[in-house]
């Protein structure tokens, strides 16, 4: 659910931050430049702050050029959203928050801007909105459950906190919880530990169950109206409010305070509730208003503030607005581990991504909601690839403003359980990397039937497992070898190692390949390093001693080629096994079809505008857009002549491609344009899909197994379909070949 929110915009003649000054064309006229006619009649943009956009420029754009763009597209620069110095190298250029003079954000305007020299993208200032399912809300005092005060059982473990410790006391299934008491016997949180930023509606930092765990800026003097620490923010004593542009991140909703209580409600203080971490340093960052809405510009500023002030973890129980590049870039540059609620649309995020949780970034953890009986909540988003694990998110009791407590539900409530677990993990292992923390959280997830095939881990957060003191790495995969090879493939086999040496199952494999031997450490002469080798997909580890196999496809050729492989296993805390190495040589191949785009003979039936195009570094290639962007409302194909596969076994298709098709931006939504690779074995009566592509990719090689068509005659088809909105540079294809291992006859 997305709600419109329009914030007040104050006109600025110039915005200055640090040593950067971005001018507006108020008194100084730019060089003469064409002025374009702004139009808005194309595809509707997602909900956004009307008239506003975010514009990312490369460092090569001069002040003069920017002034020319402002004149041409008629916009004012409201501010530069400056990346903190710590991440400037990973977020280069300038991100500008702009407003169009017309007061309208037009699709064609953004398209034109994004195609200008030095403009990386232009996208509307989208709106994010809380969308948690409603639940009766009341400000109530919390009756304290009488529990013996032991090291791992605090005296404020309220009986309603089933997510922490479930004995069936609320009617749920005993044991469906995060194993908090077991974790608390190991770690209860470091009050002087790292900073955890709660990016939300703010926090009631005076709440009696939170006040002791709220971060205080040591460089700021309260209430003096001065930026004492010189960080660019006045009186940010406990954080910052980007929704209202002031230093008071007080919660005027309830959402952020509720999340904070689950993360780090003070433990064993004889009142209220206990958080996953009894102690902590919670930094309130407010970008959502009291109504639960906030803008993309403020979200990016919130992430940058968390980075600038040293947050180690961020907790993010918000989303909506579709894909946008500036938020993804800010998160990609963030040094923190960013925990996100998966969303409450009840949909498969693998098919319909719910952003920001669905960004495919290594420093994001996406969390689904689980109920007290172990069920995946009906409102929760899920996805076997895009959602990582589940956590309690139904009838969650926690703090609310005004010294109160209440129950809420949503993936917003599941997310802070994982955030608190991440804080406990960093408290216990302060030198752990993001990958190691994430590995502990995901690798320690307890299997849950309702989550099998629904989330990546198939399980629910188990914070006790995440804190496991595991220093024993998995053993190396055993008897790793190339078992067989053809002209276009090599089959690898090995025996699965254990987690702790030879006991338990490892979490995952990492497999890489290269033209030279792969060194475990520094590469010597004739070797490549692990980092230089090419990653290859591998199966999930099975029980120790199990025989495992995978087939690696490679480009066939008229002579055999030797490939080198290295395989290692990792456990749930990031411990890595020694490398296991293998090598093998492909067999000489028989090529039955080949087209590099250069020959005079055309081996394709082409639907306009398919044709050839000269591409620097690649010569002539086949493309759906030889003279510009591909057309809208198109269904156009390039279909091969019949290709006979007799005389070869294990046939395969190989080619190189690059594409810009149906980009998820610059407007925060994804076009439905797609490229489809299809094959027919019955003369074109039916077509089977091998791959669907969209988005943007540079030149890469692909191989596809055609074994099911062995001995048949096939046709290959490259097909592009587009909707009625934006069009792009399209699909470029080169070095297409079909080959296999010659049969003995």
Q: Single out the catalytic residue among 255, 258, 417, 564.
A: 255
Going by DSSP bridges, is the β-strand pair 611-615/604-606 parallel, antiparallel, or unpaired? Answer: unpaired
3-class state of residue 509 by DSSP? strand
Q: How far apart are CA 468 and CA 617, in angstroms?
A: 52
| Tokens 């792969």, residue located | 518
Burial class (CB in 10 A: 0-12, 13-18, 19+), 631: middle
Going by DSSP bridges, is the β-strand pair 730-742/619-623 parallel, antiparallel, or unpaired? Answer: antiparallel
For the chain, helix, strand, coil in percent to 5 are: 15, 35, 55
Report which of 263, 258, 265, 271 is spatially closest to residue 155, judged by C-alpha positions: 271
Asked if 605 and 639 count as a contact pair (C-beta separation under 8 A), the reply is yes
* Residues 357, 359, 360, 362, CA torsion sign: negative
Q: Single out the catalytic residue among 132, 156, 177, 200.
A: 200
Let me know if 200 is a catalytic residue.
yes
Q: Single out the catalytic residue among 295, 380, 407, 412.
A: 412
Report which of 52, 47, 37, 55 is spatially closest to residue 105, judged by C-alpha positions: 52
Phi, psi of 260 (to 5 degrees): -60, -35
Let me know if 412 is a catalytic residue.
yes
Q: How far apart are CA 176 and CA 569, in angstroms?
A: 29
Report which of 513, 563, 571, 507 is spatially closest to residue 537, judged by C-alpha positions: 513
**How is residue 80 written in tokens?**
């530069």
Let me know if 672 is a catalytic residue.
no
Asked if 292 and 243 count as a contact pair (C-beta separation under 8 A), the reply is no
- E strands in 317-466: 337-341, 364-370, 389-392, 396-400, 404-408, 446-447, 459-460
**How is residue 530 written in tokens?**
């692990």
Own/partner contacts of 468-471, CB < 8 Å, gap of 24 or more, are: 468/440, 468/444, 468/572, 468/573, 469/186, 470/500, 470/571, 470/572, 470/573, 470/575, 471/575
Phi, psi of 356 (to 5 degrees): -80, -10
Q: State the Rg of the chain over Cα.
A: 28
Distance of CA 489 to the CA centre of its chain: 31
Burial class (CB in 10 A: 0-12, 13-18, 19+), 447: exposed
Hey, which residues are catalytic here? 200, 255, 412
């Amino acid at each position: 659910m997305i709600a419109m929110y329009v914030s007040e915009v104050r006109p600025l003649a110039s915005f200055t931050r640090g040593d950067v000054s971005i001018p507006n064309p108020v008194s100084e006229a730019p060089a003469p430049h064409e002025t374009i006619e702004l139009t808005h009649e194309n595809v509707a943009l997602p909900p956004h702050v009307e008239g506003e956009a975010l514009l990312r420029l490369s460092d090569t754009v001069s002040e003069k050029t920017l002034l020319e763009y402002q004149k041409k597209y008629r916009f004012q620069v409201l501010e530069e959203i400056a990346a903190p110095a710590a991440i400037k190298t990973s977020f280069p250029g300038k991100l500008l928050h702009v407003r169009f003079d017309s007061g309208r954000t037009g699709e064609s305007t953004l398209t034109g801007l994004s195609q200008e020299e030095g403009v990386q993208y232009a996208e509307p200032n989208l709106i994010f909105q809380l969308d948690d399912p409603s639940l009766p809300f009341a400000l109530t005092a919390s009756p304290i459950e009488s529990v013996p005060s032991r090291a791992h059982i605090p005296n404020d473990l309220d009986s309603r906190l089933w997510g922490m410790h479930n004995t069936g006391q609320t009617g749920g299934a005993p044991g469906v919880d995060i194993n908090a008491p077991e974790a608390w016997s190991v770690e209860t949180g470091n009050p002087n530990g790292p900073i955890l930023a709660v990016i939300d509606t703010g926090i009631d930092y005076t709440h009696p169950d939170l006040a002791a765990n709220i971060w205080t800026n040591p460089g700021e003097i309260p209430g003096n109206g001065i930026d004492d620490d010189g960080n660019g923010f006045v009186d940010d004593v406990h954080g910052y409010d980007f929704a209202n542009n002031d230093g008071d991140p007080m919660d005027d909703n309830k959402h952020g305070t509720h999340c904070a209580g689950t993360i780090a409600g003070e433990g064993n203080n004889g009142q209220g509730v206990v958080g996953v971490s009894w102690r902590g340093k919670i930094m309130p960052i407010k970008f959502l208003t009291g109504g639960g809405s906030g803008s993309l510009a403020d979200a990016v500023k919130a992430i940058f503030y968390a980075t600038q002030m040293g947050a180690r973890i961020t907790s993010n129980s918000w989303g909506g607005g579709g894909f946008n590049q500036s938020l993804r870039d800010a998160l990609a540059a963030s040094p923190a581990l960013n925990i996100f609620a998966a969303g409450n649309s009840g949909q498969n995020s693998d098919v319909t991504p719910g952003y920001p949780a669905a960004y495919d970034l290594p420093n994001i953890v996406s969390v689904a909601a689980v109920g007290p009986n172990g069920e995946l909540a009906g409102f929760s988003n899920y996805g076997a690839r895009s959602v990582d694990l589940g956590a309690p998110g139904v009838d969650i009791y926690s703090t609310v403003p005004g010294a109160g407590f209440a129950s809420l539900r949503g993936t917003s409530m599941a997310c802070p359980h994982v955030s608190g677990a991440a804080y406990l993990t960093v408290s216990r292992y302060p030198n752990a990397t993001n990958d190691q923390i994430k590995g502990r959280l995901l690798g320690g997830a307890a299997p849950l039937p309702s989550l099998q095939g629904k989330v990546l881990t198939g399980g629910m957060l188990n914070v006790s497992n995440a804190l496991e003191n595991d220093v024993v790495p998995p053993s190396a995969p055993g008897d790793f070898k190339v078992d067989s090879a053809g002209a276009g493939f090599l089959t690898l086999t090995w025996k699965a190692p254990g987690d702790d040496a030879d006991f338990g199952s490892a979490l995952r494999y990492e497999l890489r390949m290269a033209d030279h031997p792969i060194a475990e450490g520094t590469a010597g002469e004739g070797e490549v390093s692990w980092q230089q080798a090419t990653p290859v997909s591998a199966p999930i580890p099975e029980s120790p001693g199990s025989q495992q196999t995978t087939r690696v496809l490679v480009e066939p050729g008229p002579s055999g080629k030797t490939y080198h492989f290295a395989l290692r296993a990792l456990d749930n805390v990031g411990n890595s096994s020694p490398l296991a190495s293998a090598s093998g040589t492909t067999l000489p191949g028989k090529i039955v079809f080949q087209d590099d785009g250069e020959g005079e003979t055309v081996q394709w039936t082409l639907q306009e505008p398919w044709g050839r195009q000269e591409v620097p570094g690649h010569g002539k290639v086949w493309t759906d857009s030889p003279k510009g962007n591909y057309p809208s409302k198109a269904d156009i194909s390039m279909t091969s002549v019949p290709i006979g596969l007799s005389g070869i076994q294990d046939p395969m298709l190989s080619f190189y491609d690059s594409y810009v098709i149906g980009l998820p931006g610059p407007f925060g939504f994804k076009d439905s344009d797609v490229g489809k690779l299809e094959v027919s074995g019955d003369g074109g009566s039916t077509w089977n899909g091998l791959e669907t592509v969209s988005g943007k990719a540079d030149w890469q090689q692909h191989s596809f197994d055609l074994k099911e068509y062995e001995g048949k005659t096939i046709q290959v088809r490259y097909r592009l379909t587009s909707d009625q909105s934006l069009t792009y540079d399209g699909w470029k294809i080169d070095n297409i070949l079909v080959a296999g291992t010659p049969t003995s006859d």
